[in-house]
């Protein structure tokens, strides 16, 4: 039977080893999640760009009790797509991208992980503030994210389904 000092030696991992293991696991998870982003899935999101950039587009059909927006079917369909697991970033609260969703310079240089983080932030924002989707759409934030995704699609090779 092992003595106490021997057991502690067997199970002593440095904080650096544990942190590196966590980082490696997170990087592997992100690589696998990004593999699920296919050309077809990117196209599904990009199909909303012309709809959202149309002159005079309305994003709400009306208001519930004058306080809660009733979004159009296009807006609801877009955010239903964004809610799919391949677009979600489960660590979005820890990311700088979630803080920079309204920074158009940041959006213009975002990578696919930052795009996922910003889409997750946008999706969840309505839960914490009624009308936040409307603000993001009326101020061109969603459109800017989609334009950046369109550029990434041209520069990158997302796998086909």
Q: What confidence tens digit (pLDDT) does each residue in 111-139 have?
A: 999 999 999 999 999 998 899 999 999 99
Residue range 44-67: mean pLDDT, rounded: 94
For residue range 85-116, list pLDDT tens digits in order. Answer: 999 998 878 778 778 999 999 999 999 999 99
The whole-number pLDDT of residue 136 equals 97
Cα distance between residue 42 and residue 46, in whole Å: 6
Cα distance between residue 18 and residue 126, in whole Å: 36
Residue range 29-53: mean pLDDT, rounded: 83
Cβ atoms of residues 39 and 153 within 8 Å: yes
Domain ranges, ordered by start, for the chain: 13-155
pTM: 0.76
Cα distance between residue 82 and residue 127, in whole Å: 14
The whole-number pLDDT of residue 30 equals 52
Residue 113 DSSP code? H
User: What are all long-range contacts of 27-31, with beta carbons under 8 Å and residues at least 24 apart?
Assistant: 30/113
């Amino acid at each position: 039977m092992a003595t106490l000092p021997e057991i502690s030696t067997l199970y002593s991992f440095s904080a650096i080893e544990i942190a590196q293991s966590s980082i490696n696991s997170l990087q592997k998870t992100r690589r696998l999640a990004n593999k699920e982003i296919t050309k077809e899935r990117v196209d599904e999101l990009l199909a909303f760009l012309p709809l959202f950039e149309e002159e005079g587009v309305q994003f709400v059909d009306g208001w519930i009790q004058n306080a809660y927006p009733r979004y159009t079917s296009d807006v609801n369909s877009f955010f239903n797509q964004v809610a799919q697991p391949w677009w979600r970033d489960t660590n979005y609260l820890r990311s700088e991208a979630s803080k920079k969703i309204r920074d158009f310079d940041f959006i213009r240089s975002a990578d696919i992980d930052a795009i996922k983080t910003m889409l997750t932030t946008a999706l969840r924002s309505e839960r914490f503030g009624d009308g936040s989707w409307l603000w993001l759409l009326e101020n061109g934030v969603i459109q800017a994210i989609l334009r950046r995704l369109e550029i990434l699609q041209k520069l990158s090779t997302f796998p086909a389904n």
